[in-house]
Amino acid sequence: MVLPADEPYASASGAVSAVAHALTRHLLDRGAQVEVLSPRAGVPTHPAGEVRELWSAGNRPLARRAAARVRRALARENDAWAAYRREVVRRSTGDAVIVHNDARLARLVAVSGRPTVLWLHNLLAAQSGEDVRAFAAHGGTIVGVSEHVRAWTVREHRVPEGRTTVVHNALDHDVFRPPDRWQPGPSLRVVIHGRIDPNKGQVLAAEAVALARSRGAAVELSVAGAVKTFGMSPPDVEAYVARLDDALRAAGARRLGPVPAAQVPALLAGSDVGLALPTVPEPFSLAALECMASGCAVVAVPLGGLAEVVGDAALLCEPTTTDVADALCTLASDPDALARRRAAALARAGRFTWEDSAERTLAVLHDLLGR
C-alpha cells in the first residue's frame, strides 16, 4: 500500500490516507499481510499495517531488479516527488502493490515488474494521461472510487475498459451512526462539513439558509471545516473568506472551524440535515456518506460520484439558492418527510461498508495475480 508523496499515513492527513488506513485494517482482518509505504509524517502514523516511512533521498540507488527503462524514466523527472518515487520503487517488495493517486509512480512500479494497482481517488489531470496509458499497457489495473472516476478515466485518458474497475469508498458504521433516539426539534439543524472551498458550496448553503429563514422557516446552519483551497491566489482566498463570513452572518449560522475527526460523528448525529452542494463534479463524497450514516437527511447536488453515493435517498436539487432553500423549507415544515428522508439516507449508507470494499479489493488483487 503506497501513499502519495504529499499525504502521509497519519490521522492528520486527508481522505486518501483515511481510505488507505481503513482498507489496510480490513485486509489484515482477512489474513492479508500489508506493508504501507508513506512519506515521513512527523506525527504518529496510523497503527494498521507494517509502516515504513521513506525519506526522499535522491542519491539512493534503485533496486537491481528495476529495468533500465525505469532508470531512464526516473532520470527525466524534475518534479519534487522524484526522490520519493525512486525510494518506493526500491522498497516495494509485496506480491502486489497498490499505489494511491500517483500515476507516474504506479507506472514505474509496474515497469519494474511488480503487479500493480493504481487507486484513483480523483480525476487525474491531462498531463497524467501518458502515465495512465503506459501503466495500463504494462498490465496494471486501475481502480476508481466511483463509476464516475472510472468512466472519466477511460474516456479522457483513453485506457481500455478491461483494465479498470470500481471499489467504492466506505466508512465505519460503528463510528458514524444515528442517535439512539431522534425527534425533530424547534429548528431544523443543518450541517455542512469538510474542506471549505468555493467548489464545496458553503456560500450557497449560507445563502439558501438565509432565504429559507426569510420565508419563515426555522433553520439553523453549522459549517465545519478548515479553509483549504487549490489554485487560488491569497487575495482571492481572502475575498472568498470575506464573502463566506458575510453570508454566514446573514444566515445566523455558526462557523465551527476545523473539527477534530473524533468529534465529527457527534456533530453529525446531532444534526437533522446534511448538505452536499458541490459546484463541480465530486469523485465520491465521503462527507455525504458520513451524514447519511449518521441519520441525517441529505440535500444534494448530484454531480459526479456524489450521485452514486446518495442515489435516490437524498433530496436532489440544482446548485441554486432557490432550489436549496425550497428543499430546506420542505424538510423544516414536514416532520414526516424529514423522518422518511433520514430513514432512506441511513438505509442507503448501509450499502457502503469497508468489509465489502476489502472483499472487492482482494478480488482485484487475485485477478491481477492470476489466482
| Model pLDDT, residue 94 | 85
d(CA 190, CA 18): 25
pLDDT digits (tens, 9 = 90+) for 50-67: 999 986 433 333 333 333
Q: How far apart are CA 106 and CA 55, in angstroms?
A: 19
Let me know if the fold of 15-170+353-369 is the same as that of 188-349: yes
Answer yes or no: pTM beyond 0.75.
Answer: yes
pLDDT digits (tens, 9 = 90+) for 163-209: 999 999 999 999 999 999 888 889 999 999 999 999 999 999 999 99
Cβ contact 285:276 at 8 Å: yes
- pLDDT value of position 339: 95
The mean per-residue pLDDT over the stretch 28-43 comes to 91
Question: What integer pLDDT is reported at residue 363 of this predicted model?
Answer: 96
227-278 per-position pLDDT tens digit: 998 889 999 999 999 999 999 999 999 999 999 989 999 999 999 999 999 9
pLDDT, mean of residues 302-307:
94
Would you state the pLDDT for residue 231? 86
Say which CATH architecture domain 15-170+353-369 belongs to. Answer: 3-Layer(aba) Sandwich (3.40)
Residue 245 amino acid letter: D
Q: Which of 330, 362, 38 lies closest to 371 in space, CA to CA?
A: 362
One of 3.20.20.80, 3.40.50.2000, 1.10.287.3240, 3.60.20.10 is the CATH number of 188-349, namely: 3.40.50.2000
Q: What is the mean pLDDT of the chain?
A: 90
Reply yes or no on whether the pLDDT at 77 is more than 60. no
Q: Where do we find the cell 516527488?
A: 81
Element (H, E) at 357: helix 354-369
- Domain borders along the chain are 15-170+353-369, 188-349
pLDDT of residue 80: 63
Instruction: Give residue 81's pLDDT band: very low, low, confident or very high (50, 70, 90).
Output: confident
Q: Which residue has the higher pLDDT, 62 or 328?
A: 328
Residue-level pLDDT at 79: 61
Q: Is the pLDDT of residue 74 over 50?
A: no
- pLDDT-derived band of residue 162, with 50, 70 and 90 as boundaries? very high
